[in-house]
Amino acid sequence: MPDEQKNPPAPKVPAPDTSASTDDTLVTTLQADLALAQKNVQDLTDTPQRALADLQNSRKRTEEDKAQFVVFATTKLLLELLPVLDNFTRAFAQVPDEIQKTEWFKGALQIEQQLMTVVRKQGVTEMPLQVGQKLDPTKHEAIATGPGASDSILEEYEKGFMVGEKVLRPAKVKVGNDSPSTE
């Protein structure tokens, strides 16, 4: 035992407390993992919502495109029908009085009226025009000039038509050129 007295047991030195720093590191790691998991959940939630919104927007654009195509196709057809109506008007203006009283002529008038009804059902209206009104380049096409007040409509050669507020076909008119009338 004398050796034991020579080497007394080493005093127990308390080990450094690493549990506190380990706990802090663990908490920080867990917080980072939680934030990452929350971000992933948010991404997984947002992605389908964005996809659904994109789908709804795409459907809406497709419907708008279809509606615009229908308007375009209808407008094209209407523009081809308007000269037929013009020809009816010109032809009927030249029919002698004795023929105007025949059943055949009355039938032809009904055909013209039926065609005009079909055109009106598509929202087409005749553009109102009065001799003497000011030329509106968005609604009138000046194809001739004559003596009269400058830019004043003197005569209508061909009716103008509108669909709603949009000009389908401008009226073809004769306008004054600011020269004195020879009447």
Query: Would you put residue 72 in left (φ > 0), alpha (ψ -120 to 50) or beta?
Result: alpha
Q: Identify the CATH number of the domain defined by range 21-122.
A: 3.90.20
Burial 30-50 (b: 16+ CB within 10 A, else e): eeeeeeeeeeeeeeeeeeeee
- Token digits of residue 46: 């947002």
Query: According to CATH, where is 3.90.20 located in the chain?
Result: 21-122
Alpha helices (H) in the chain, listed in sequence order: 2-6, 19-93, 97-100, 103-121
Query: According to CATH, where is 2.30.22.10 located in the chain?
Result: 124-183
pLDDT given for residue 5 in this prediction: 55
Q: Which homologous superfamily is 124-183 in?
A: Head domain of nucleotide exchange factor GrpE (2.30.22.10)
pLDDT given for residue 66 in this prediction: 86
pLDDT given for residue 9 in this prediction: 60
pLDDT digits over 137-175, tens only?
999 999 999 998 888 999 999 999 998 888 999 999 999
Cα 111 from Cα 104, distance rounded (Å) = 11
pLDDT given for residue 164 in this prediction: 83
pLDDT given for residue 8 in this prediction: 59
Band (2; pLDDT cuts 50, 70, 90): low
pLDDT digits over 93-132, tens only?
999 999 999 999 999 999 999 999 999 998 899 998 888 8
